[in-house]
Amino acid sequence: MQKFRDFADLELRGWSEPETARAYARDFAAAADMCAPTFVAAVDARPGMHVADICCGHGMLTKALVATGARVTGVDFSAAMLELARENAPGARFVEGDAMALDFDDDSFDAVTIGFGIPHVPEPEQVFGEVKRVLRNGGRFAYTVWHGMEMDGAFRWLFQAVQDHGDPDIALPAAPDANAYGSREIAVPALEAAGFGDIAFQTVDSMWVSSDPAAPFVFFHDGTVRGAALLRGQPEPRKKAIRQAVVDEVMRCCGGEAPFRIPIPAAFVSARA
Ligand SMILES: C[S@@+](CC[C@H](N)C(=O)[O-])C[C@H]1O[C@@H](n2cnc3c(N)ncnc32)[C@H](O)[C@@H]1O
């Protein structure tokens, strides 16, 4: 039986909403896209390689991989995301599928990338096992997750504001910690158990540049699934308080004047099969 069934259902439903997919692609993903060059370098993408981009979303990392001359297969379980991805990366092949059960033969790929998909799967260890299975021996794997409460930035500001001002009755279904797989303590044993070695960590200083100090609130509200589940149902006064707390942090941290360079740092993890 699948663990975290309610969470898995929430994720599939949320990412399948065309408005959420479009809002993610339009706003939130600007920070995610900043990781693309690090991915390309980490897996050493080049002509002749076959790369799978799992949880490919609207396909901007897929597009960067295609630009290297690699043959790229994008996988996502959201038809709404895949529709955007086909427009953004026409040179790739796209497959609708679940990262938890990849529909590919063993040893099919030279490299696998997962940009910000691990926080959305109910069993990251199972995904690592699937990635290892479809990678040839020696193939490279790289993934990103957002740094969480441990680092100053939009992620912490938003979730701290929800803790401080949100309705305590609005809670997410039980799920793995969205940011844990960016930490050595959790990621190394999980990757090693799946058969990976040569594991390396770095931080990508990704950010949003916006004239709106409420941008983190708006981007999480409109263009994510967990953020939306926490924010959209808040009573109006609580929503206002959460939004204001986020604005206060942006003003404190980002110079007090537009344009605001709003940090949302990413943990970047790479390994070898
Ligand atoms: C935060 S978005 C990341 C999109 C893109 N990779 C990027 O870096 O911007 C997460 C993506 O993972 C997809 N996703 C989540 N769980 C999935 C699963 N179990 N199988 C396949 N795709 C999944 C969602 O549909 C969504 O497109």
Structural domains present in the chain: 5-149+174-208+264-272 (3.40.50.150)
Cβ 271 vs Cβ 141: under 8 Å? yes
Say if ligand 1 is within 6 A of residue 206 CB.
no
From ligand 1's centre to the CA of 66, what distance in Å? 18
Q: What b/e readout covers 63-100, taking b as 16+ CB neighbours within 10 angstroms?
A: bbbbebebbbbbbbbbebbbebbbebbeebebbebbbb
Instruction: Pull the structure tokens for residue 171.
Output: 């809670």
Ligand 1 within 6 A of CB of 28? no
pLDDT at res. 256: 86
120 lines ligand 1 (CB under 6 A): yes
Ligand 1 centroid from CA 153, angstroms: 22
Which pLDDT belongs to residue 58? Answer: 98
CB-based contacts of 109, cutoff 8 Å, min separation 6: 50, 51, 52, 73, 134, 135, 136, 139
d(CA 2, CA 266): 28
Residue type, 235: P
- Establish whether residue 42 lines the binding site of ligand 1, counting it when its CB lies within 6 angstroms of any ligand atom: no
- Residue 263 forms beta bridges with which residues? 207
- Nearest-angstrom CA–CA distance, 31 and 204: 10
Q: Which of 7, 15, 73, 208 to mutate to test the pocket of ligand 1 (most atoms within 8 A of CB)?
A: 15
Whether 121 is in the pocket of ligand 1, judged by its Cβ within 6 Å, is yes
Identify the pLDDT of residue 2: 72
pLDDT of res. 1: 65
Residues in the chain: 273
Q: What's the whole-model pTM score?
A: 0.97
Task: Find out whether the beta carbon of 15 lies less than 6 Å from any atom of ligand 1.
Answer: yes
Q: What is the pLDDT along the chain (273 residues), one digit of tens a residue?
A: 678 999 999 999 999 999 999 999 999 999 999 999 999 999 999 999 999 999 999 999 999 999 999 999 999 999 999 999 999 999 999 999 999 999 999 999 999 999 999 999 999 999 999 999 999 999 999 999 999 999 999 999 999 999 999 999 999 999 998 899 999 999 999 999 999 999 999 999 999 999 999 999 999 999 999 999 999 999 999 999 999 999 999 999 998 899 999 999 999 999 999
pLDDT value of residue 98: 98
CA of 36 to the centre of ligand 1 (A): 15
